Amino acid sequence: MFKTKFPDLTSKISRKIGSIFSRLGLPPNFWTIASIVPAIIGFYFLLSYKDMFLGFLFFFISGFLDAIDGAVARVTRSSSKLGGYLDGIIDRIVEAFLLIGLLLFNLPGFYVYGYWLPSYLLIALLLFFGSALVSYSRAYASQKGVIVSEKILEWMPGILERTERLILIGVGMLLYYLNPLYTTYVIAIALILSIITLLQRVVFVIRHGA
């Protein structure tokens, strides 16, 4: 199935954000690059202070700055291929900081059918299957010319794409204060859904590819 779109509320919020921040006169790429700064700070708090809340807070700020760039680009009609490229690269860098910070946080693991699953293994697999392969599966289909239509690529399905994945991880970070194991459970769920998303995209390319 093709993805469904949710344009109404999302578009209104995006236009409002773009309208407010475009008044500063800063180009969209500024906000894209600026999103790295709070991500580095959030990584520092996760790594050095083991502070899950401050880590969450700064990564949330990073995500908000990332949303500003697209909103400003749409309002000012200044979208560009370079901007899209920078946005994609920096998105992966920010997500890597987040997941590596959680990997080094020493979250608890858990047993499944008598097998011990350490948190660092789950996070490493999420970094590979979620952050890397899910996006790579789309880009590679375009690069190899299997799917040449941008319109078809836009409809590529995915139960857990980057935005949903980061929201889910953010919820898991907040659940840490109820029980640290809940964070690990959420990461395991994100991993499973990321693998399903990858399979969805592979099947989509097989069905709709040239």
For 56-81, the pLDDT digits (tens) are 999 999 999 999 998 999 899 888 88
| Chain CA centroid to CA 119, Å | 19
Is the pLDDT at 54 greater than 60? The verdict is yes
Give mean pLDDT, residues 82-98: 94
Instruction: Say whether both 99 and 126 belong to one domain.
Output: no
Measured distance between the N- and C-terminal CA atoms of the chain, rounded to whole angstroms: 18
Instruction: Say whether both 89 and 171 belong to one domain.
Output: no
Query: pTM for this one?
Result: 0.91
The CA R_g of the chain, rounded to the nearest whole Å, is 18
Instruction: Say whether both 126 and 136 belong to one domain.
Output: yes
Residue range(s) defining the domain that contains residue 39: 1-105
| pLDDT tens digit sequence for 155-185 | 898 999 999 999 999 999 999 999 999 999 9
Domain count, the chain: 2
